């Protein structure tokens, strides 16, 4: 654990002068110039910039800027105050984030651990810029595995008869561990509107199907019955509409008549792992802007 803390501190020190700015507003001339001038006036160097316009004539404009600024920790509060003037001029929705402020995540899992394991491996290798604060499960199966990583594990039984009590405890733990992002890594429970409302655009789910096909349970069985030639997985933000939240990432693999249900599931697990890991990574790096029920993902 001491090594992990040391690495985390080193990374935090390295990133303390790194900032990110995400903006969405109505498209109009001069936005990029104004943003560039603002950062220049605040002695900041733009490292990466990606932008998108839904329609140059009256559409919406989205941009993600990553920048470096010496002594940013001391300057960030004043910078944000100064930006309010520019934001008002262009009627911007915006968000500043900083490289030394790692998001804290919670992983929710049921019996199948493979998506959770992918995240733990990415985190252990330093490829997932987060602090995994806690793992929550409605089964005890993964306790020993999770605790071997030095991560707290909480077993909370969950079913439709005790759902309210379970979610009250889960919400309490999210507050106790100061969690920024919830990851449903094959957590096989439906969340209530009350729970979802506590974490808008902060819950990422993996669905073992290429949505909108085969929404809900048993998608591999239904895909096999339909005789599909492609199977996939979808990672999305959770809303109150089952499996219909804003899609972050999808991927597919080709299959054929020789593949039975068990083969589809094996292939699908590989897709699920990589799709969920990408979505989580992009969220942690502030590469996603949600617009209505869609996402703009700056890769």
pLDDT tens digit string along 103-126? 999 999 999 999 999 999 999 999
Residues β-bridged to residue 295: 290
The CATH code of the domain at 14-98 is 3.30.70.260
Task: Determine how β-strand 181-184 pairs with β-strand 60-69.
Answer: unpaired
Residue with tokens 């729970």: 195
Asked if 70 is an active-site residue, the reply is: no
- Intervals of CATH 3.30.70.260 along the chain: 14-98
Distance CA 200, CA 177 (A): 18
Distance CA 247, CA 87 (A): 28
Residue with tokens 């810029």: 129
Choices 3.40.50.2300, 1.10.1840.10, 3.40.50.170, 3.30.360.10: CATH for 103-297: 3.40.50.170
Active-site pick, 55, 127, 180, 243? 243
Encode pLDDT of 118-160 as tens digits: 999 999 999 999 999 999 999 999 999 999 999 999 999 998 8
Percent of the chain predicted with pLDDT > 70: 95
- Intervals of CATH 3.40.50.170 along the chain: 103-297
Q: Are 280 and 119 in contact (CB under 8 A)?
A: yes
Q: Look up residue 288 and give its two tokens.
A: 């996603």
């Amino acid at each position: 654990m001491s090594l992990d803390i040391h690495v985390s501190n080193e990374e935090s020190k390295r990133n303390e002068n790194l900032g990110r700015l995400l903006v969405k507003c109505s498209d109009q001339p001069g936005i990029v110039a104004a943003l560039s001038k603002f950062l220049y006036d605040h002695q900041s160097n733009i490292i990466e910039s990606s932008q998108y316009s839904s329609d140059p004539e009256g559409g919406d404009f989205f941009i993600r800027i990553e920048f470096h600024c010496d002594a940013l920790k001391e300057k960030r509060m004043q910078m944000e105050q100064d930006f309010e003037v520019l934001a008002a001029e262009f009627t911007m929705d915006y968000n500043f984030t900083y490289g030394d402020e790692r998001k804290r995540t919670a992983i929710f899992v049921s019996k199948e651990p493979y998506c959770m394991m992918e995240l733990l491996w990415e985190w252990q290798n330093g490829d997932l810029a987060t602090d995994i604060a806690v793992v929550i499960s409605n089964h005890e199966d993964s306790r020993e595995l999770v605790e071997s990583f030095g991560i707290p594990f909480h077993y909370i039984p969950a079913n439709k008869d005790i759902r309210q009590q379970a979610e009250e405890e889960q919400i309490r733990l999210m507050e106790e561990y100061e969690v920024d992002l919830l990851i449903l890594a094959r957590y096989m429970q439906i969340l209530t509107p009350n729970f979802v409302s506590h974490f808008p655009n902060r819950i990422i789910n993996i669905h073992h199907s290429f949505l909108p096909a085969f929404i809900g349970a048993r998608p591999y069985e239904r895909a096999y019955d339909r005789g599909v030639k492609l199977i996939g997985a979808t990672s999305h933000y959770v809303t109150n509409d089952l499996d219909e939240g804003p899609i972050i990432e999808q991927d597919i693999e080709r299959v054929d008549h020789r593949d039975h249900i068990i083969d589809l599931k094996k292939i699908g697990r590989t897709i699920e792992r990589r799709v969920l890991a990408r979505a989580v990574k992009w969220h942690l790096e502030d590469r996603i802007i949600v617009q209505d029920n869609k996402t703009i993902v700056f890769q």
